[in-house]
Structure formats: C-alpha cells, structure tokens
Amino acid sequence: MTDQDKIKNQNRARYARYRKKHWGKILERRRADYTKTPRKYLDKLQRDWFRKRYGLSMEEYDSLIVNPCQICGSNHNKKIDHDHTVSKPHYRGVLCNSCNLLLGRIESIGIDKFVKYLSRS
C-alpha cells in the first residue's frame, strides 16, 4: 500500500467518525439545502453520482448519451454501461436498457447456458 493509499484510508476513517458523531447536524444541513434550492441540490447529487460511479462530468455524460446503443443501435431508454467488478470509476459505453439488462444476465450466468438452451431446439 502506497503512502497516498494510507492517507486516503485515514481520511475515509476520519470522515466516517465525523459522520457518525454529527449525523443529525449533517441531515439538518442537507434538508435545509434541499428546502432552499431543491433543483440545485438534486443536480449536485446527480453530478456527484456520475463522477463517483463513472468518472464522468455531466457534460461528458450529455455528450455520450446522444449516441445510439453500441449493440443494437437503438436510441430509446439509453444507459451508461459499466463493469461492476472494477472498483475505480469507469464506463464501457452507451447501451439501451434491453441490451444492458441482457449483458448483465450474460455476465452473471454465463453465455454457455444461453447457447446450450438455444441449441436444444
């Protein structure tokens, strides 16, 4: 473990202790922020989510999501696809919801079972 990793872990532990000790105060602040400017608060949550999950800014997300599904070419109900086994923020591409769900099934069950099933008929 590098020095930078140790520092990150120490900061995470310190922040976890702070959150545990001051959770009521944190919730009050969040509620106040939401009450004052709900749209701004929700936009910040969404920006933080995309940065944490995919490593993307909202501008990068907006420029990616205009592309069609990279499997079937559909332009409906598109999602950013990512690999759940990788811990760092990343994305693989843009998929429609149907292809994204199918890909998730194939990854979890394995394509061999699908091929075996289809070859029976």
Q: Which domains does the chain have, with CATH numbers?
A: 57-121 (3.40.1800.10)
Quote the CA–CA distance of 118 and 71 in Å, as a whole number: 20
pTM of structure: 0.58
Mean model confidence pLDDT for the chain:
88
Among 113, 83, 115, 118, which residue's Cα sits nearest to residue 100?
Answer: 83
So what's the pLDDT on residue 121? 66
Q: What is the pLDDT of residues 23-54, one digit of tens each?
A: 999 999 888 888 888 888 888 888 888 888 88
